[in-house]
Chains A and B, each alone.
Chain A
Amino acid sequence: MDSSNFAAEDDRGTALVEIIDLTRSFSRRGVPFDAVSHVNLTIKPGEFVAIVGRSGNGKSTLINMIAGLVRPSSGSVRIDGRDISALRDRELSLLRNSTIGFVTQSQTLLANLTVMDNVTLPAMLFGVSTEEQGRSHKIGQQPSAVAPYDSSTRQVAAGGTTASGTIDDPYMPDVIAPIRVEKQTADTVQKKQNNPIEDRARTLLERLGVGELAESHPRELSGGEMKRVSIARSLMNNPKLVIADEPTGDLDQASTDIVMRLLREQANNGTAVLVVTHDPDVLTWADKVYRMDAGALSMASV
């Protein structure tokens, strides 16, 4: 085993999400209660974790604390080695933007933007600096805000292609390919005018079966279509962690399969996936299933 292989092995062993003794208390009619009670959880890169449980048992509060959207009463959450409670607003926002893809239970698409603009929005929030432009040109890579998809290992699709220019597996046409810079030829002149962010968004939308809706507005979409667009948006920045709150809630069986296959592929590519669900079909795609009951988390038997 050479040193790089060893390093890769070591990375897989490092937890992406580490939750230690996490508690969040609320007060209902003056009576305090723990919505999340002393939860410990570790999720590694490439792991697909599902949490089940009845409504009101603290599942949403737990994932919101993991995403840094709700502050814990006690305990800690570490994402990618960083304690999120110690982060300032900008650092936390950047982490949320670049490391976490979040699919909410309710519809959160921006009504005044088209589907395409909604999906590309996460890639637009933190601009590309001139410094980054110069650096990326020097080393011959895409600017970091454009393609956080540069990791050759994380970009490998289920069929085994790599970002370094090897041929995609023809039997896996639905793989979301990494962005590549092609050699300049007459044929590629027009392609180069395209925007890699929009290209990626379009690929995601097509993959989720809503590619033809790119120029539509959310008000023109059904609930299921909106959910699939939300999932495309959550994957836009190629996050290391995808958190999905009831991702198949509004979907029919065919759409559920499309979504779950995509999330599974993300996990296979090295992305940690955390899903909160009531849907028993979802559990079959997961590596680990936990049950949340009265704020306490325990391993479930599937």
Chain B
Amino acid sequence: MTDHATVYDSVQHSQRRILRTLAARNLVGRPMRTGALLAVVTILALAFFGGTMLTMNLNTGMASMERRLGADLMVVPQNTAQKAEALLTDGNPSTFYFTKDIADEVKKADGIDQASEQTYIASLAAECCAEKLQIIGYDPSTDFVIEPWVASQFDGTLEDGQMIAGANVNVSADGTVELYGHKWPVVAQLASTGTSLDNSVFINLDTVPQMVEASAKVAKRVMPAEYADKAVSTVLIKVSEGYGAETVAENIKRLDSRFSDLGYVYPGGVTATTKTALNALVAYLTVFVAAIWVMGVIVLLAVFAASVNERKREFASLRILGATRGMLAGILLRESALIGLIGGAFGVGLASLAIFPFSALIGKQLQLPYLQASVPTVLAIMAVTLVCSVAIGVAGSLAVLVRIGRPEAYLTLREGE
């Protein structure tokens, strides 16, 4: 019994080895053809995965930006509207302000449901950060923009001297950020948004004078001392039901003739402009990827079809030995699936090398909100890419499968003689 079992195992091992490795050996035995097929599938997978990731990250960034922009109208100082718009997307940190009495006046206009003040200070390059930091002072008692977003990660009250850090801010191990020679305790760090908010820290308005004083001790004072406790960069407004943002802006201008010179930013408009740019880019990407795939399928079909003649003798030989049409199809499908899988993995790998390490750079170059999709989403796209790559490989071999499905293998062999 043991003898038979040993012999039998040995036989089965051989059977598995030859039949399972036949496809791989065929691929290794034809390095030029295999290389060409792999290159085509790699390019297809790279285009598909890269294009999909890019589109996905832009859409995620856009959705994230929309969620952050809860205000219908931002009132900012004269000539600073562009800077304010830039803050909403991915511009550089900046400092601009008017005084609190103006803000208080603005808030009296008709059609305002909620209003909250924010103060923006651009830091110098700090130890904590690769880039200049945007310091945002906000009023937790009236805020309706930052709090809902922060709530998911911090549900306490932001005390004086404390900070909430954006995703890209390096918080030291002791839970502080060193800024202007002072260690500021960080109570929460926010998830990535794909906008300049990732390079921001949030403090309450009462902490702004402390920050200004700290800056004066180690570097250039970020604003005159007398303004430190009354500087306001923007009044964020949520309009009442039935009012448009433009109408409320007009109402503000009517309050005081000086208010006509203020800047008025409509975040909804900023979103719409960004969306248009994003949609155009996504459309280009889709057409580009689709064109590459159509060309790729044609090339694959051509290469496989060309290999039919070359492989006639091989298939006929297998038929003569007793291989069924199903066995031949199995060998071919295994070959093409291997090509698809390996090419797909190469493509995903190459695209990943470009996309993941240079995520921030891509976002900056595109001038669009760009937010890396979640790990499960990325893994799902990788899986879909691999499945598509395998499917395209199998589709490419269809021509050969149809040919070997025909009877009279030996006639085919004689054609090849």
- Using a CB–CB cutoff of 8 Å, the interface residues on chain A facing chain B are 60, 64, 67, 69-71, 89-90, 93-98, 102, 104, 106-113, 117, 120-128, 133, 136-137, 140, 142-143, 145-146, 181-182, 184, 192-198, 233
Contact = CB atoms under 8 A, between A and B. Distances in A.
A98 B11 contact: no
17 contacts: A67-B410, A69-B320, A70-B408, A93-B324, A93-B327, A106-B413, A106-B417, A108-B320, A111-B314, A112-B28, A125-B322, A127-B15, A137-B5, A140-B4, A143-B4, A146-B11, A181-B7
Nearest to B320: A102
A233 B321 contact: yes
B12 interface: yes
Interface string B383-417: 00000000000000000000000011111011001
A94 B322 contact: yes
A127 B20 CA distance: 12
B7 A196 contact: yes
Given A104-B413, A146-B8, A192 B314 contact: no
A122 B322 contact: yes
A110 B410 contact: no
Contacts of A192: 3, 6-7
Nearest to A192: B6
Given A112-B25, A127-B15, A128-B15, 10 more contacts: A96-B321, A102-B320, A108-B313, A122-B321, A128-B11, A136-B8, A143-B4, A146-B7, A193-B10, A195-B14
Contact of B322 (A96, A108, A195): A96
Interface string B302-337: 000000000001101111111111110000000000
B317 A110 contact: yes
B7 A90 contact: no
B12 to A, nearest CB: 6
A37 B417 CA distance: 24
A108 B11 contact: no
A112 B11 contact: no
Interface centre among A69, A122, A194 (most CB of B within 10 A): A69
Contact of A117 (B12, B18, B409, B414): B18
B11 A195 contact: yes
A109 B310 CA distance: 14
B22 interface: yes
Given A70-B410, A108-B313, A133 B8 contact: yes
Nearest to A219: B29
A64 B407 contact: no
Contacts of A117: 18
B19 interface: yes
A20 B327 CA distance: 31
Contacts of B2: 184
B217 to A, nearest CB: 76
Contacts of A140: 4
B22 A90 contact: no
A93 B407 contact: no
Contacts of B313: 106-108
Contact of A128 (B12, B18, B26): B12
A250 to B, nearest CB: 14
Contacts of A93: 319, 322-324, 327
B1 to A, nearest CB: 6
A196 B15 CA distance: 12
Closest 3 CB pairs of A and B: A97-B322, A112-B29, A69-B410
Interface residues of B, number: 44
Contacts of B25: 112-113
A162 to B, nearest CB: 20
Contact of A125 (B10, B28, B323, B407): B323
Nearest to A88: B324
A98 B322 contact: yes
A124 B14 contact: yes
A71 B407 contact: yes
B257 to A, nearest CB: 88
Contacts of A184: 2-3
A128 B19 CA distance: 13
Interface centre among A104, A108, A193 (most CB of B within 10 A): A108
Contact of A69 (B1, B14, B319, B327): B319
A77 to B, nearest CB: 14
A28 to B, nearest CB: 14
B42 to A, nearest CB: 23
Contacts of B317: 104, 108-110
A113 B6 contact: no
A117 B7 CA distance: 18
A140 B8 CA distance: 12
Interface centre among B7, B326, B327 (most CB of A within 10 A): B7
Contacts of A97: 321-323
A90 B320 contact: no
Contact of B410 (A64, A95, A121, A181): A64
Contacts of A195: 7, 10-11, 13-14
Interface centre among B6, B13, B321, B323 (most CB of A within 10 A): B321
Given A104-B413, A124-B15, A128-B15, A113 B22 contact: yes
A122 B323 CA distance: 8
Nearest to B411: A70
B188 to A, nearest CB: 61
B132 to A, nearest CB: 61
